[in-house]
Structure 1
Amino acid sequence: MRAITVPQPGGPDALAWVEVPDPEPGPGEVVVDVRASGVNRADLLQRQGHYPPPPGAPDHPGLECSGVISVIGPEVTGWAVGQQVCALLAGGGYAERVAVPAGQLLPVPAGVDLVDAAALPEVACTVWSNVVREGRLRSGETLLVHGGGSGIGTFAVQLGVALGATVLATARSAKHPRLRELGAAHVIDYREQDFVEEVRRVTDGHGADVVLDIMGASYLGRNVAALATGGRLVVIGLQGGRKAELDLGALLTKRASVTATTLRARPLAEKAEIVRGVRDEVWPLVEAGEVRPVVDRRLPITEAPQAHRLVESNDHVGKVLLTIG
Structure 2
Amino acid sequence: MRYIDHGDGGEAGVLTLAEMPAPQPATGQVLVRVAHAGVNRPDVQQRKGVYPPPADASPVLGLEVAGHIEALGEGVDGWRVGDPVCALTPGGGYAEYCVTPAAHCLPVPRGLSLAEAAALPETCFTVWSNVFDRGRLQAGETLLVHGGSSGIGTTAIQMARALGAASIVTVGGADKARACLALGARAAIDYREQDFVEEVKRLTDGRGVDVILDMVGGDYTPRNLRCLAVGGRLVQIAFLRGRSAELDLGLLMTRRLHVTGSTLRPQSHEAKAAIARSLRERVWPEIEAGAIRPIVHARFPLERAAEAHRLMESSGHIGKIVLDVRGGDA
Give the total of aligned pairs: 325
How much does 1:324 deviate?
1.6
- Preserved CA contact (<8 Å) 2:94 2:325: no
Query: What do residues 69-94 of structure 1 show as CA deviations (whole Å, max 9, x unaligned)?
Result: 01011110110011000000111100
Matches within 5 A, 1:131-210: 131-173=131-173, 174-210=175-211
How much does 1:140 deviate?
1.1
Equivalent position of 2:14 in the other structure: 14
How much does 1:218 deviate?
2.3
Query: What do residues 153-176 of structure 1 show as CA deviations (whole Å, max 9, x unaligned)?
Result: 000000111111121000112201
Give the counterpart letter for 2:209 in structure 1.
A
Secondary structure at 2:219 match in 1: helix
Query: What do residues 105-124 of structure 1 show as CA deviations (whole Å, max 9, x unaligned)?
Result: 00001111111100000000
Give the counterpart letter for 2:139 in structure 1.
S
Give the counterpart letter for 1:127 in structure 2.
V
Equivalent position of 1:227 in the other structure: 228
Q: Find the aligned partners of 2:101 and 2:280 in 1 and give their Cα distance.
A: 16
Give the counterpart letter for 1:163 in structure 2.
L
How much does 1:243 deviate?
0.7
Give the counterpart letter for 2:213 in structure 1.
L
| RMSD over aligned Cα atoms | 0.7
Secondary structure at 1:34 match in 2: strand
Structure 1 gap segments, 5+ residues each: none
Out of 274-283 and 148-157, give the one that drifted further: 274-283
Secondary structure at 2:235 match in 1: strand
Q: Find the aligned partners of 1:139 and 1:75 in 2 and give their Cα distance.
A: 39
Give the counterpart letter for 1:176 in structure 2.
A
Q: Find the aligned partners of 2:303 and 2:254 in 1 and give their Cα distance.
A: 53
Give the counterpart letter for 2:260 in structure 1.
T
- Preserved CA contact (<8 Å) 2:5 2:60: yes
1:290 to 2:291 alignment: yes
- Preserved CA contact (<8 Å) 2:134 2:261: no
Give the counterpart letter for 2:317 in structure 1.
H
Matches within 5 A, 1:7-156: 7-156=7-156
Give the counterpart letter for 1:316 in structure 2.
H
Q: Find the aligned partners of 2:27 and 2:139 in 1 and give their Cα distance.
A: 41
Query: What do residues 222-264 of structure 1 show as CA deviations (whole Å, max 9, x unaligned)?
Result: 0000000110000001111111111111111111100010100
Equivalent position of 1:317 in the other structure: 318
Secondary structure at 1:217 match in 2: coil
How much does 1:127 deviate?
0.2
Q: Find the aligned partners of 1:240 and 1:21 in 2 and give their Cα distance.
A: 39
Give the counterpart letter for 2:81 in structure 1.
V
Q: Give me the TM-score of the superposition, normalised by structure 2.
A: 0.97
Equivalent position of 2:244 in the other structure: 243
How much does 1:288 deviate?
0.7
- Preserved CA contact (<8 Å) 1:5 1:59: no
Secondary structure at 1:206 match in 2: coil
Q: Find the aligned partners of 2:313 and 2:201 in 1 and give their Cα distance.
A: 31
Q: Find the aligned partners of 1:90 and 1:265 in 2 and give their Cα distance.
A: 9
Q: Find the aligned partners of 2:267 and 2:17 in 1 and give their Cα distance.
A: 28
- Preserved CA contact (<8 Å) 1:169 1:188: yes
How much does 1:9 deviate?
1.2
Give the counterpart letter for 1:81 in structure 2.
V
Q: Find the aligned partners of 1:251 and 1:193 in 2 and give their Cα distance.
A: 25
Q: Find the aligned partners of 1:242 and 1:177 in 2 and give their Cα distance.
A: 30
Q: Find the aligned partners of 1:54 and 1:218 in 2 and give their Cα distance.
A: 30
Q: Find the aligned partners of 1:285 and 1:235 in 2 and give their Cα distance.
A: 25
